[in-house]
Amino acid sequence: MKPILVLKIGGNVVDSPELLEKVLLRFSKIKSDKIIVHGGGKIASDLSLKLGVSPKIIDGRRVTDAETLKIVVMVYAGLVNKTIVSVLQKNNSNAIGLSGADGNFFKTKKRISQIDYGFVGDAFDSSVNEKFLFELLGNNLLPVVSSITHDGDGQLLNTNADTIASSIAVALSKTRSVKLIYCFEKSGVLENQNDENSLIENLTYQKFLDLKISGAISSGMIPKLENVFSSLKSGVQSVLICGATAFANSDSIDEIKATRFTF
């Protein structure tokens, strides 16, 4: 049985309809069980601005107040999710859009910390109901997962899309082989942020630690990479970080110019 492919598409891909269509068309042609995870890109911020809901940032992190939660639910679980599903259907991929509340398949806990981040949900060990995902895959459906989860007690929660992708990959890998692909605007992990030619094609954990100490890796990339190594440690077969255009133009996943990882 072929590995399950979990593809996370980044916000910048969602923001570009042409690129998104190309990525989805390429994805549709892959013959294996597969799942897409997406966030929402700039659409949610643009909508907030138009509605006069000003973004609250504390210590560099966004706060999801009640009004912001409504906006991200509308944009992520509504507009972006259904747009992706309808494009995949056009490509003859039988997609089904999900938030974590649907089928109760992704439960999180509202973040408790000294800073009140609002309606933000953090994943825990048994967050993912993989049985539900296997049922969908078994019915030849392609789950399209937005980064909205719930607490099981009637509260929707905003959750980091990278975390959702890695949690799903880890949960499924208890039963099947899973490949996890992060597809975004850069060509992978760069040694020099301003030079697309400085792609690191194979990143070991030791090299990651070195780059972290030297400051070569951007602060935004650090949690993403910690997520990657943690997924590998927890049983995910392989992880790949690549550019959306490289993904869209690839003939084979194995040949994409990207960052691959080894412990």
Chain residues in the site for a copy of itself (CB under 8 A): 50-51, 70, 73-79, 81-83, 85-87, 89-90, 94-99, 101-104, 135, 139, 141, 148, 150, 152-156
At closest approach, how far in Å is the CB of 122 from a copy of itself? 17
At closest approach, how far in Å is the CB of 171 from a copy of itself? 18
Q: Which two tokens stand for residue 186?
A: 């850069």
Q: What is the dihedral of CA 207, 212, 217, 218, to 10 degrees?
A: 160
Question: By C-beta, is 2 or 90 nearer to a copy of itself?
Answer: 90
Strands 56-58 and 61-63: antiparallel
At closest approach, how far in Å is the CB of 103 from a copy of itself? 5
d(C-alpha 26, C-alpha 125), whole Å = 32
Alpha carbons within 13 angstroms on the beta-carbon side of residue 147 total: 28
d(C-alpha 117, C-alpha 3), whole Å = 36
At closest approach, how far in Å is the CB of 213 from a copy of itself? 42
Question: By C-beta, is 94 or 192 nearer to a copy of itself?
Answer: 94
d(C-alpha 19, C-alpha 73), whole Å = 23
At closest approach, how far in Å is the CB of 87 from a copy of itself? 5
Radius of gyration of the chain (CA): 18
Question: By C-beta, is 101 or 221 nearer to a copy of itself?
Answer: 101
Question: By C-beta, is 19 or 180 nearer to a copy of itself?
Answer: 19
At closest approach, how far in Å is the CB of 32 from a copy of itself? 19
**CA nearest to 145, candidates 167, 124, 126:** 167
Using an 8 Å Cβ cutoff, are 237 and 178 in contact? Answer: yes
The count of residues in the chain is 263
Question: By C-beta, is 90 or 174 nearer to a copy of itself?
Answer: 90
Question: By C-beta, is 71 or 180 nearer to a copy of itself?
Answer: 71
Mapped onto helix, strand or coil, the DSSP state of residue 260 is strand
